[in-house]
Amino acid sequence: MVDRALLVAALTSAALLAGAHLFEKVGGLAPCALCLDQREAHWTALALSLAGVVIAVGLRWRRAAAATVGACALVYLVSAGLAFYHAGVENHFWPGPATCAGGGPVDLGVGSLADALSDGPDAPSCSEAQWRLLGVSMAGYNLLASAGLFAICLVAAAGAARD
């Protein structure tokens, strides 16, 4: 069960990351700071779960594989928390961090303009969902996916602990 949970985790995180990058590169939807934080959680989960697949299937180290799936569960719990927070910011339930301001006053002074050009484009505000399907933003869908992956990994880790 651990090996299947790790494989599901790896494939799902890879698909979520691929989708996020497609929305960015093909769809032109720039990620905000909280979007990037959520991606980091999935990159971490992907690396852990791929290592876990090698440990579980290739090396057959059951305890190490169980620990890895438990670590994945914790990463997905953090990912779900980040997504919950971001969805709340998008729905104006609470304010976002200062790094998610987006927009703001424009200073057209030469020094400010040069600084802005050297820093690249501003990230969008975290409080505005750039895309929704059936009223749910990408952060909302990430919350659902991360919570589901947390449950899968937690059940697998608990089952391995009983064995």
- pLDDT digit string (tens) for 17-61? 999 999 999 988 888 888 889 999 999 999 999 998 888 777 677
Asked whether residue 12 is domain-assigned, the answer is yes
Res 113: pLDDT? 53
Position 38, amino acid: Q
Full 3-state SS string of 94-116: CCCCHHHCCCCCCCCCHHHHHHH
Asked whether residue 114 is domain-assigned, the answer is no
Which residues form the domain of 134? Answer: 2-101+126-162
Does residue 118 carry a pLDDT above 80? no
Asked whether residue 115 is domain-assigned, the answer is no
Res 83: pLDDT? 95
Asked whether residue 111 is domain-assigned, the answer is no
What's the CATH code of the domain at 33? 1.20.1550
pTM to 2 decimals? 0.81
Res 49: pLDDT? 93
For the chain, the domain total comes to 1
Does residue 106 carry a pLDDT above 50? no
Asked whether residue 113 is domain-assigned, the answer is no
